[in-house]
Amino acid sequence: MTCNIGRRVAVLLLVVVFAICFLSTLPVEPAKAELPSMVTTSLSLSATINGHSFTATGTGAAYPYLGRMVTTITFSSFPEDYHPLCYGKTWKCKRCHKAFALELDGGMNLYTLTQGNFDTHMTKTYSHGAEGTLTISAQIRMTSATHSHTDAQITGYYTGSTDAVDVLASHPTLYPAGPGEIIAEDVETVVMSDGNTIQISTYEEISFVDTTAEMPFMQKMSITPITLSWTPETLTFEEETIVSIRPVSVGGIAVPIDKFGLLAPYVGLASTIVVATAATAIYVKHVKRRKKKQ
């Protein structure tokens, strides 16, 4: 009987080991970084568009619990055959959008995932009445607990109308691409003064500084411009947007998997059974010894 009990204990231990191995293959919920109520932002930009080279600096703020981003950017000069709105909703906040978007239904912005430290490489392709391609690289770093700085570089060309008056809201999709990587895709619509529109298709590869961090599910963003204002006399562009992020799910809310939370009840149950079985085995062995002595 003692032998049989020992076998049962061994089987239970094997089950626990198998459960641990299986759950270790599931995605881990990233450590939840506490969001600051407000983050100041800054931008250093160098660009060459249609052969015209220029620089820009920007300052602003992000409010993660409101999803509100504001930025003012001043350019050293600007191409005559291009318009700031032809770039899309934002020159600075696009990186801030992903970093400090309002988190809904368990969504995770890039501050939560990376603590605000990541690199991006984006391609913008124009169509529907315009032609051209822009390539953007940017490095985003939290230089203090409440300040985010972006260094960005832009090169490319654009052929089309420069009489832009508005940019419509859009809904980028973020795809997990393995540890430390995300792919983002979006389609932006720029409205011209005559009512015609052009489209900008964006494809972005995002790399985390912490290469072990991982986005556990696909997400969808909502980016709504509130103010997009260009003052050519001072070469100043002002932008304000409202941004949110949430998991992409069907018929419910996606929740990150906490594999240790899943494992805990089974470990507790198995431990209880093992202890009870071991105690029974010891008791049976003790009874047998007493009978032999008698």
Is the pLDDT at 11 greater than 80? The verdict is no
Is 32 domain-assigned? no
Band (pLDDT 50/70/90 cuts) for residue 131 is very high
Residue 138's domain is classified under what CATH number?
2.40.155.10
215/282 same-domain check: no
pLDDT of 33 above 80: no
**What is the structure's pLDDT at 218?**
98
- 141 and 227 together in one domain: yes
In terms of Cα–Cα distance, which of 26, 23, 27 is closest to 216?
27
Residues 133 and 190 in one domain: yes
Question: pLDDT per residue over 63-117, tens digit each?
Answer: 999 999 999 999 999 999 999 999 998 876 556 789 999 999 999 999 999 999 9
Residue 34 lies in a domain: no
Write out pLDDT tens, residues 217-251: 999 999 999 999 999 999 999 999 999 999 997 55
pLDDT above 70 covers a percentage of the chain that reads: 72
Structure confidence at residue 252 as a pLDDT band (50, 70, 90): very low
In terms of residues, how long is the chain? 294
What is the per-residue pLDDT for 277? 64
User: pLDDT class for 152, splitting at 50, 70, 90?
Assistant: very high
Q: Which domain holds residue 281?
A: 2-26+258-293
Claim to verify: residue 22 and residue 47 sit in the same structural domain: no
What's the pTM value of the predicted model, to 2 decimals?
0.74
The number of folded domains in the chain is: 2
Q: Report yes or no on 12 lying in a domain.
A: yes
Same domain, 128 and 220: yes
103, 183: one domain: yes
DSSP line for the chain: -HHHHHHHHHHHHHHHHHHHHHHTTSPPPPP-PPPPS-EEEEEEEEEEETTEEEEEEEEEEEETTTTEEEEEEEES---TT--GGGG-S-SSHHHHHHHHPEE-TT---HHHHHTT-EEEEEEEEEESS-EEEEEEEEEEEEEETTEEEEEEEEEEEEES---EEEE--B--EEEE-STTEEEEEEEEEEEETTS-EEEEEEEEEEEESSTT----S-EEEEEEEEEEEEETTTTEEEEEEEEEEEE--SSS------HHHHHHHHHHHHHHHHHHHHHHHHHHHHHHHHHHH-
263 and 243 belong to one structural domain: no
How far apart, in whole angstroms, are the C-alpha atoms of residue 275 and residue 267?
12
User: Whole-angstrom Cα distance, residue 48 to residue 154?
Assistant: 6
pLDDT the model gives residue 254: 47
Looking at residue 255, its pLDDT comes to 47
Residues 86 and 44 in one domain: yes
189, part of any domain = yes
Is 31 inside any structural domain?
no
Q: Is the pLDDT of residue 275 over 80?
A: no
For residue 266, being part of any structural domain is answered with yes
